[in-house]
Structure 1
């Protein structure tokens, strides 16, 4: 074995040592070594120069190599230990962050679940509300037909009502999918269970109901004892003209009257058996839609309750549509749900008597319940939808 060591051999040995890779500055490494106490050892006492003995180059060289290697390995181990410590700290911090994120996500999910639950509760509460005074809309009719009629409520109040009859039942009962109102009335009016639903009996009208184009002809057997005017108009709102005739004798076949359809009324609310219905207030008639909507306040009585929520004011203008603008921003979520719905639908029904659509303005919500306030509201087909089982088999 060659035991001769010189600078060349030492350099060669050092090149074979493991390479140390560290991107930290010298100052940072020095600070870490200093903090670790690497420079706190007592200096080695050297003997006086006169007492030193000449050592062989071999021994000195061996010590130098060992020192260099030891120092290099020591620094490497220290750096590696520092790296492992930093890695461990980073992993711990990462775990804490991940755990915090998981907890935050869990909290967020819980809050989201709570929000969903709250929203579901609201929807459940709304669906649990009795379906008072709900108009019929075109998108609810489907491929069926709307059968309209007027019911006799308490205190001589006329309640316009409607039933959506499915196509299958129309085909089964009348042999056609699209019967006229006159045909539906002649078949279904005798089957109406008016008393069973808390109303006075007044259907069918004693007489013959026929259709002549857009004109409805009612030949009354006994006009003096039959419901007239408003009741007939609410039973047959689809016709532009209604002709009433006597049928007692041939000399009386001249028309009694052609009902005037020019006057309309504001919709109010009437309560019967703890249920509210939309009804027309007959004490004030209007020729213009803006007057009729503004007339939804100011004519309340013990029988007729205004559908406008107390304290809410608005203006009405007419152009391409009827524009109802609330004087103050209207937040519907701060109002009782049923009252808010009655107010909006009462206005829509009042405008519908003039065959007009409403655009609501200055409402906080863009979409609420079935309403999209960015669009003109649909014209309700009829007020006060009743269940199909009011028609007896």
Structure 2
């Protein structure tokens, strides 16, 4: 077969050279002849029609391929440009979102930290509104520094009724019942109670009848720690403590060499922080140093004069004092944000001042604090006067 290309002119020239054929039959004869031969059967007609139409899909397909070839590169270029812009936008948005998320997370953590600190009660002092349905029991425990640390337990009145058959036992009743049950070692103290001898009472006095050679007469520190312990154990209930020997005469400490006088249990101390060997911290008087005025006592809390007791006044918390009636006004010289400090340290400062003022039967109004409310305190008004220091859980020390 020749591979020469044919065009329309050649075809027309060839057709013009073909001999002309004449058919003298009528149209009816030709038509009849075609029908007789089955030219117009349906199947063959369809084949003819299909052959005529086959070029159409091919043409459409070819046109589609050409169109696709032209449009796709342009489309892909535009798509890539759009993708690049989108990626860049996403990067910017992602960076902004991450930064925003980090800020929100940091703020949330700060808020949660503040909420957590507020949720945890850092107070260790006992206030009047906590006494409902409970009875105060106090002890002066022997500290690692050979001094007394006051602690307080709130005993449920159901236990009081069970043990005494009445709601209001005396301080001596409470001591004689619970001192021997108190688990001092459970909170890191040496066993010191109950006192040897006999504990009784008369009016506003607690009376301790001591045997010969009691353990409290050993060394120069022995009597001082013993007397401090008596003040911490009975100062809430009585005015004085009387020390007698077995004959009923005033007891004579060998270190003192003279009969004991009635010991005044209610004294005007200020409060410092004492840390036990196990790391536990307590608010306690500084070796029982007493003061004549509340201003002297609170201002004296700024000064440390030994290694045993640390000031509870936090760094940068300078203040001025004034007194109005039975209220001590503590005004910080610069506005103080308690959240900038260790929260336990801040609480010890607030409660140390409150306990010191309470020894003078006075309340405290704090001024120039950032916080108007903090840890349950409302600083817009004078704070309640605490009744005792260093609360210990009843379940921890009494079985």
TM-score (norm 2): 0.64
- Map of 1:162 onto structure 2: 152
Question: For structure 1, which runs of at least 5 residues remain unmatched after alignment?
Answer: 1-110
- Map of 1:242 onto structure 2: 240
Q: Deviations over 1:170-210 (max 9, x none)?
A: 11122211212111111000111112321111111112222
- Map of 1:4 onto structure 2: none
User: Following TM superposition, by how much is the alpha carbon of 1:319 offset from its aligned partner in structure 2, in angstroms?
Assistant: 2.4
Partner SS, residue 183 of structure 1:
helix
Q: Does 1:185 align with 2:175?
A: yes
User: Following TM superposition, by how much is the alpha carbon of 1:150 offset from its aligned partner in structure 2, in angstroms?
Assistant: 0.8
Q: Deviations over 1:269-313 (max 9, x none)?
A: 111212211111127421211101000011253221110001221
Equivalent in 307, 310, 316 of residue 311 of structure 1? 316
| Counterpart contact for 1:223–1:246, Cα < 8 Å | no
- Map of 2:45 onto structure 1: none
Partner SS, residue 177 of structure 1:
coil
Q: How does 1:134-153 map to 2 (within 5 A)?
A: 134-153=124-143
Equivalent in 313, 336, 350 of residue 344 of structure 1? 350
Q: Deviations over 1:349-381 (max 9, x none)?
A: 111122211111122221111111122111111
Q: Distance in 2 between matches of 1:251 and 1:297?
A: 42
- Map of 2:274 onto structure 1: 270
Q: Distance in 2 between matches of 1:223 and 1:355?
A: 38
Q: 1:336 to 1:213 in 2, by over 3 A?
A: same
| Counterpart contact for 2:210–2:251, Cα < 8 Å | no
Q: Distance in 2 between matches of 1:290 and 1:229?
A: 26
User: Following TM superposition, by how much is the alpha carbon of 1:391 offset from its aligned partner in structure 2, in angstroms?
Assistant: 3.6
Q: Does 1:297 align with 2:289?
A: no
| Counterpart contact for 1:161–1:383, Cα < 8 Å | yes
| Counterpart contact for 1:271–1:277, Cα < 8 Å | yes
Q: 1:223 to 1:180 in 2, by over 3 A?
A: farther
Q: Distance in 2 between matches of 1:276 and 1:319?
A: 32
Q: Distance in 2 between matches of 1:295 and 1:251?
A: 38
- Map of 1:325 onto structure 2: 331
Q: Distance in 1 between matches of 2:265 and 2:323?
A: 21
- Map of 2:264 onto structure 1: 260
Partner SS, residue 296 of structure 1:
helix
Partner SS, residue 338 of structure 1:
helix
- Map of 1:104 onto structure 2: none
| Counterpart contact for 1:135–1:383, Cα < 8 Å | yes
Q: Distance in 2 between matches of 1:348 and 1:223?
A: 39
Q: 1:332 to 1:149 in 2, by over 3 A?
A: same
Q: 1:336 to 1:258 in 2, by over 3 A?
A: same
TM-score (norm 1): 0.65
| Counterpart contact for 1:188–1:391, Cα < 8 Å | no
Q: Distance in 1 between matches of 2:398 and 2:343?
A: 33
| Counterpart contact for 1:323–1:359, Cα < 8 Å | yes
Which deviates further from its counterpart, 374-383 or 208-217?
208-217
Residues matched between the structures, number = 281
User: Following TM superposition, by how much is the alpha carbon of 1:263 offset from its aligned partner in structure 2, in angstroms?
Assistant: 4.5
Equivalent in 185, 201, 206 of residue 196 of structure 2? 206
Q: Distance in 2 between matches of 1:181 and 1:204?
A: 14
User: Following TM superposition, by how much is the alpha carbon of 1:336 offset from its aligned partner in structure 2, in angstroms?
Assistant: 2.1
- Map of 1:281 onto structure 2: 286
| Counterpart contact for 1:214–1:241, Cα < 8 Å | yes
| Counterpart contact for 1:269–1:306, Cα < 8 Å | yes
Q: Deviations over 1:314-352 (max 9, x none)?
A: 112222111111111122222221111111111001111
